[in-house]
Structure 1
Amino acid sequence: MSGTFHGFADPQELAEKTAARIASILGDALAARPTASLVVPGGRTPGPFLSRLALAGLDWERLHVCLSDERWVPPTAPESNEALLRRTLLTGDAERAHFVQLYTGGSTPKVGLEEAERRVAALPRPINVVVVGMGEDGHFASLFPGEEALAQGLREDGTASCVPAIGPGGGPPRLSLTLSRLLDARHLFLLATGEAKRALWDKAADGGPAEELPIRALRRQTKVPVEVLWCP
């Protein structure tokens, strides 16, 4: 399933239009139901849109927010995705949102896995909005090529919400939401910048194995249309 491709002129327009679109979806969801849920990525690209989304006039107390993945470090560490989220989205009125922490304080992601599963299971579902990024190696969330738990993480019909990941060499280990959990969504967005990422999304339409290029699993699934939000 190719979904829809939306191109924007520059990172500023990408951030503004993405924040406006997602705020509208969440506003409609909160008008119809008591709660709504949002899953967002870490990394550099989403920061500007998250800062703009924080300014949306939403009833944040009824909104549940979770990361798509987390580095296994305390939230005070500079490389923590939670730290990024608290600098960008969870500020001002948006600080009142219910934040679902993936990092549990356990010694490793495997040690914290059971508690993280319990926390993610409490998210209002289906998730109203899921936003993921994409790496130049074809990973999304922390579903990297070569990971021990990648096959489980990429199962569309899997029952697990989270899998552990080693991540890039030299970095901290990680915990990632699984593809099956990310697809339990009403709206699914892929946020990407640069010509290399656009070419990678196009390549994901081929018939190659998802184990080598995990983004193929996201593109070829037929459960939720993927909207690609991209700028040069």
Structure 2
Amino acid sequence: MANKVWHRFSSGPHLAEALADAVAGRLDAAIKTRGAALLAVSGGSTPPPFFRSLSRRKLDWRRVTVTLVDERFVPPSSERSNARLAARHLLQNEAARAEFVPLYHEADNVEEAAKKADRMIAALPLPLDVAVLGMGTDGHTASFFPDARGLSELLSEERRHVLPVHAPSAKEPRLTLSLPLLCGAGLIVLHIEGEEKKKAFEAAFAESAEAEAPIHTLVSRAATPVQIYWAPSAAKSDPAAPATP
């Protein structure tokens, strides 16, 4: 498939710096072109070194809005909160001046929280300028888990920007940006590290794959080639960071 471009690095720290440069460059271009920039980032144990590098880049961060690719239905006080992760590692230094729009909202259930988040995301200066995605060894990306309830409907939803997700493997209910919103980003990055993730990605595109993995669906529908940033070993992360989704 030609809709993906590999960027291979010798180590996680080298990857973090290069990815921060690429994302900062795209955000700066958006600010100069339309006066604002919109960035969506993922959680897990892989992004913190990249977040810290990006937070030090010189940008007009007051014109940057940061949101999340997906989120667990937990408050920001939880160690499993992606909003907490972003606040701790990204919304620091120069990037402390950015606006942050969360996906989690206090509600009776994840469906109501998703409706609130959908209204907030719809009010942003869409489309996304940058979406930085992760991937699990099961081939999920964002919160599109292979065992998610109604996965095919979730992947085909075009009317809403934020969707509620229930999947046994996800532990908590989740909130995720819709596939069309992610696929329409100006720069789509898949940030993965380690041989296991690389093998899982390659397996998702193998002819012998029994079913189409969510990451395969996203790459095939992306409006621009997905930029895959990979290193054989991860950059040193914060031991308190939530586990990779």
What's the % identity of the aligned pairs? 38
TM-score using structure 1 length: 0.93
Question: 1:102 maps to which residue?
Answer: 103
CA distance 1:224–1:152, change in 2 (3 Å): farther
Question: 1:28 maps to which residue?
Answer: 29
8 A contact 1:149–1:164 mirrored in 2: no
Question: 2:215 maps to which residue?
Answer: 215
Residues 199-210 of structure 1 mapped to structure 2, 5 A cutoff? 199-206=199-206, 208=209, 209-210=211-212
State the distance in 2 between where 1:188 and 1:145 align: 21
Structure 1, residues 99-154: CA drift from partner, whole Å, max 9, x if none?
A: 11100111221121211110111222221111100000110011101211421322
Question: 1:162 maps to which residue?
Answer: 162
TM-score using structure 2 length: 0.88
Does 1 or 2 have the higher relative contact order (CA < 8 Å, sep 6+)? 2
State the distance in 1 between where 2:120 and 2:23 align: 23
SS in 2 for 1:220: helix
CA distance 1:197–1:77, change in 2 (3 Å): same
Any runs of at least 4 consecutive aligned residues in structure 1 with deviations exceeding 6 A, and if so which? none
CA distance 1:154–1:206, change in 2 (3 Å): farther
CA distance 1:203–1:2, change in 2 (3 Å): farther
SS in 2 for 1:140: coil
State the distance in 1 between where 2:60 and 2:40 align: 17
8 A contact 1:152–1:158 mirrored in 2: no
- The 10-residue stretch of structure 1 (59-68 or 216-225) with the greater mean CA deviation from structure 2: 216-225
State the distance in 2 between where 1:102 and 1:88 align: 18
Question: 2:148 maps to which residue?
Answer: 147
State the distance in 1 between where 2:67 and 2:192 align: 19
Is there any run of 5+ residues in structure 2 with no aligned partner, and where? 233-245
SS in 1 for 2:13: helix
CA distance 1:22–1:148, change in 2 (3 Å): same
Is there any run of 5+ residues in structure 1 with no aligned partner, and where? none
